[in-house]
A and B are shown apart, each in its own frame.
Chain A
Amino acid sequence: MTTKLMGQGVQRVEDQRFLRGQGRYVDDVAVGPATLHAAVLRSPHAHARIVDIDVDAVLDLEGVHAVWTHDDLTGPMAEPLPLLIPHPALTHGRTQYALAKDEVNYAGEAVAFVVAEDRYVAEDALDRIRVTYDVLPPVVGIDAARAADRLVHEDVPGNVGARMEQQTGDAQAAIAKAPHRLELDLTVERSACTPMEGRGTVARWDPDLNRMQVWTSTQSSTGVRAVVAVKLELDLGQVDVITPDVGGGFGVKINHPWPEELLVPLAARALGRTVKFTEDRREHFISSAHERGQVHHVEVGFDDDGRLLGLDVAFWHDHGAYTPYGLIVPIITSTQLLGPYKPEVYRVVFESVYTNTVMVTPYRGAGRPQGCFVMERTMDAIAEYLGKDRAEVRATNFIQPDEFPYDQGLIFQDGRELEYDSGDYPASLEKIKALVGWDEFPAFQKEMAAVGRRVGIGLACYVEGTGVGPYEGAHVHIETTGKVKVATGLTTQGQGHATVFAQLVADELGVRLEDVEVVTGDTRRMPYAVGTFASRAAVMSGSAIHLAARRAKEKVLKIAAEALEASEEDLEIVDGVVSVKGSPGSSLDLGTVSVLSNPLRYAFDEASKAATQFSVGDPGKPPVPEDEEPGLEGRDFYSPERATFASGMHAVIVETDPETAEITILKYAVVHDCGKLINPMIVEGQIHGGVAQGVAGALYERMAYDENGQLQNASFMDFLMPYVTEVPDGIDIDHLETPSPLNPLGIKGAGEAGVIPSAAVFAAAIEDAERLSIPGLAITAMPISPSELFHLRQSHPSQEHTA
């Protein structure tokens, strides 16, 4: 009997390739002298009018093939790039041009595009382009945007791209009536996804086939395909987009098209040569996307137990110079900040504002880290105010296990109701308290304080809407060799899809894991797909693959039943062999069933000989019966009513140095509920990575813009991405499984969870560590560096006389 693979920590099947240096990332495609290389001239100014571009000296350089500026673009290519997710509240959406027209709005915006024999020569050529700019004063940061003394786009009043409000009642009235009230101002700075592999695109125009083939490092192959077709005025059917191995995405690669994703195919067609663009690290910082920059104001009313009676949140979201990805990030903050809690009345309003900085698209967690920071800081403030245990105040506000499905009364990012499918928050709380040693901590803290050490503990809870629609599909094909080829349209960027999807197919079809091969993100294999983001791959494609495998299995059983003269119910498939239960002599392997599924006229080998018209079938019937298709395949789609809701809680113990304010992590604990686990090893890997990115966002990473809109830390030398020395040495993880009722496998999604509560949990722990020495010290802005903590201490009123 085959053991079920679902739930097992199966080793990854894709690793072999990567470990041997045989991964195929975009820059590994089309290697060799036949390929031309592109480089992009980027604006040095954050805000300027383009007076003139002189490219005369460029083509004199040996090895340069072509140069484009906006004036060279025609038709749809000369129009602004698409606004991917329009929303009625986004009243002033703006997107950039593939190459800047008349004006630049951030330092890094694409101005000209050069194609040459190699990247070195292409960069030499960029130096020969003379651009005359009329420099304008930039708008940098949320305060400047709100002040609106200057405008990013002349036709956007007040720099406000969108204003959106949702409420479940009159929050201000509820707060006014509440026994206790608090107000908080909370800030989170900009950071970025920063995958190790930057962006990249290769394109080849085949005049013989009249086809455009594009390889690109994206989270949405089908999206890129559609936009390349539209912009280059090709039929969708003429464009193939292939996403090979992707070296990390974390959200930034969901935006599309990047200017280069259009310019590379354009150049490939114009020049009749394969063209490649590979972004360098500086370009990634200044011309891809950032996230997280938000300022929040909270008003909350509560009772003696800390129960939320009214919550009113206003916040400002810095979306940078353009809004190609719409309002997804602030909408998620505004809805998901509620976490596992149920305030009686809630109102939220945000403004999404323009600044002359790199645009914003979702970064792992996508607005949730900010929301979680807001809510959890509020919980801590309430506990502090009432002198209560922070865990207890949280528990008071939890949605209870018997209240699911729970409708929060708001509309979520996908346009559906914010209705939680399942969960058990009290159980999670018990687990996290046990895991981190919550109840024992005060004694430890006192003990440490007695010897002059400052230690603190923090706790943060979150809920994550995962597995959003609209749909994903899958195709399962059983070959005549018995091997199973699976294709799904969404992409993969390190989450182990080749393994977890193979596990699902192996289970459903009864085949060996090693006989299943999964292809993702290739529009030739599955042209209908959405993309890999929002922790949706396992839920969406996982479910679709499960359903497609089931369809293939139905066909297997039908054909085998006929061949074995048995009834379908009496058949089972084990290790790729279909047999009549209890009579082992009567069996067929899947490869043979596949042969039988396709009535042939011609024989190519022994196997096909067995399926020719003189060998099989009833001559009285058509070889392919009505409603059937030749071939042993199954295709299906999964489209859920609404998102699933994973949840979890993190706790951290930190130590802060009384002299230097250095922050050390002593213990990190995670309780995690993503429904049924397909592969716990992979889920834990996702948590590890998420926690590291969370630590990064809480303690290190920020986008250091100066007042001129120049990014001062656009390199790994200056942007403090954590090495192993900055992350916890060991993360304690415990799982809870509350299956989702929304999909056949009961799964939720685990990609982003690890990063959501980090800013909140660190703020809480650092504050807790400091409070014994500096009562009333509050951490309200993240990330926090040792020097910031030091200054916070110095400037605290209670310290003034001692300083």
Chain B
Amino acid sequence: MSEELHDVRLSVNGASYDVRVPGRRLLSDALRHDLGLTGTHVGCEHGVCGACTVLLDGAPVRACLMFAVSAQGQEITTVEGLARPDGTLSNVQQAFVECHGLQCGFCTPGFLTTITAGLRANPTPTHEECREMVAGNLCRCTGYQNIVRAVERAAELGLDTPSLVPREGSSTNEETP
């Protein structure tokens, strides 16, 4: 017996994608395998490592703990959507280059999305707050030293990711599947 499929419209990084997926398809898998947006990584599939973090209407969520069907109607931002419209790196990304905030780069997308949302909520964090901001994400390579430095550096540079600025007058998308 074949699985029931659902037509879903996902709005990711400002573009709309129509996909047909089973109800159990994780948002992380839909992004990666159905949309080909492989920047979002899966490190644990049980919500602990933070590698799969994407922004849902600007708020960080774990894409491995959500079904693709439940993301309909919300604006998803993945790591692919963090650079500036002209293609240059956002300040958070730039801070990672300057501070050597990544090694293998596997955890990095989750950190970038988390920090982008974190700095939006608190643009002038203290050192302690910078550490707290990344305290839900695992990295096996960097020992976190330079990631914390990158948060501080990004705060210094200021937040600049335009895709995250809430669009004036935009309300919940009520499109039917």
Contacts and interface: CB of A to CB of B under 8 A. Distances in A.
B46 A196 contact: no
Contacts of A12: 97, 100
Interface string A141-154: 00000000000000
Interface stretch (B67-75, B138-146, B152-160, B165-173): B138-146
Contact of A196 (B79, B107, B144): B107
Contact of B100 (A682, A715, A724, A754): A682
Tell me if B's interface is mostly helix, strand, loop or mixed: loop
A495 B44 contact: no
Interface string A206-250: 000000000000000000000000000000000000000111101
Nearest to B93: A19
A731 B145 CA distance: 8
A696 to B, nearest CB: 9
Contacts of A15: 96-97, 102, 105
B49 A716 contact: yes
Interface string A8-22: 000110111111111
A362 B79 CA distance: 33
Contacts of A23: 39, 105-106
Contacts of B134: 724
A689 B103 contact: yes
B131 interface: yes
Contact of A197 (B106, B112, B142): B106
A25 B41 contact: yes
Interface centre among A119, A195, A724 (most CB of B within 10 A): A724
Contacts of A250: 140
B53 interface: no
B40 A715 contact: no
Interface in A744-783: 754
Interface string A659-702: 00000000000000000000001101101111111000000000
B78 A729 contact: no
A725 B135 contact: yes
Interface centre among B79, B104, B135 (most CB of A within 10 A): B104
Nearest to B102: A18
A689 B38 contact: no
A418 to B, nearest CB: 30
A195 B46 contact: no
Given A248-B141, A281-B45, A692-B144, A195 B112 contact: no
A582 interface: no
Contact of A280 (B32, B39, B41, B45): B45
A63 B103 CA distance: 38
Contacts, number: 178
Nearest to A690: B143
A286 B103 CA distance: 26
B80 interface: yes
Contact of A723 (B41, B138, B142): B138
A620 interface: no
B137 interface: yes
Given A19-B89, A21-B80, A195-B106, A31 B36 contact: yes
A194 B105 CA distance: 15
Contact of A721 (B36, B40, B138): B138
A493 B104 contact: yes
B177 to A, nearest CB: 20
A729 B131 contact: yes
B123 interface: no
Interface centre among B1, B139, B145, B147 (most CB of A within 10 A): B145
A20 B144 CA distance: 20
Interface string A108-126: 0000000000111000000
A32 interface: yes
B110 to A, nearest CB: 9
Contacts of B108: 18-19
B94 to A, nearest CB: 8
Given A19-B96, A21-B109, A197-B104, A715 B44 contact: yes
Nearest to B40: A21
Interface centre among A21, A24, A684, A691 (most CB of B within 10 A): A21
A494 interface: yes
B85 to A, nearest CB: 13
A248 B138 CA distance: 13
A360 interface: no
A11 B106 contact: no
Given A716-B48, A724-B134, A724-B144, A196 B104 contact: yes
Nearest to A717: B48
Interface residues of A, number: 61
A189 interface: no
A689 B145 CA distance: 9
Interface string B73-90: 000001110110000010
A639 B140 CA distance: 31
A509 interface: no
Given A19-B96, A20-B80, A194 B142 contact: no
Interface centre among B38, B98, B109 (most CB of A within 10 A): B38
Interface centre among A15, A27, A682, A684 (most CB of B within 10 A): A15
B51 interface: yes
Interface string B1-40: 1100000000000000000001011000100110011111
Contacts of B37: 21
Contact of B1 (A14, A62, A716): A62
B162 interface: no
Given A62-B2, A724-B147, A729-B131, A120 B80 contact: no
B56 interface: no
A247 B89 contact: no
Contacts of B138: 196, 716, 721, 723
Interface string B99-124: 01011111111001000000000000
A715 B46 contact: yes
Given A15-B102, A248-B106, A20 B93 contact: yes
Nearest to B103: A494
A247 B106 contact: yes
B117 to A, nearest CB: 16
A485 B103 CA distance: 22
Contact of B44 (A28, A120, A281, A754): A281
Contact of B141 (A20, A24, A62, A494): A494
A688 B39 CA distance: 25
A45 B108 CA distance: 36
A120 B97 CA distance: 37
Given A19-B102, A31-B36, A281-B45, A723 B137 contact: yes
Nearest to A718: B48
Given A31-B33, A724-B147, A247 B104 contact: yes
A184 B140 CA distance: 33
A685 B136 contact: no
Contacts of B79: 19-21
A11 B97 contact: yes
B125 interface: no
A88 interface: no
Given A24-B38, A724-B131, 7 more contacts: A12-B100, A17-B105, A23-B106, A120-B24, A693-B140, A716-B48, A724-B147
18 contacts: A19-B96, A22-B39, A27-B42, A28-B32, A31-B33, A31-B38, A196-B51, A196-B106, A196-B138, A247-B43, A281-B44, A494-B103, A684-B100, A688-B144, A693-B140, A716-B49, A724-B131, A724-B148
| Top-7 shortest CB links A-B | A21-B39, A494-B104, A247-B106, A18-B105, A688-B143, A692-B143, A494-B103
Interface of A: 11-12, 14-25, 27-28, 31-32, 62-63, 118-120, 194-197, 245-248, 250, 280-281, 493-496, 681-682, 684-685, 687-693, 715-717, 721, 723-725, 727, 729-731, 754
Interface of B: 1-2, 22, 24-25, 29, 32-33, 36-46, 48-49, 51, 78-80, 82-83, 89, 93, 96-98, 100, 102-109, 112, 127, 131, 134-148
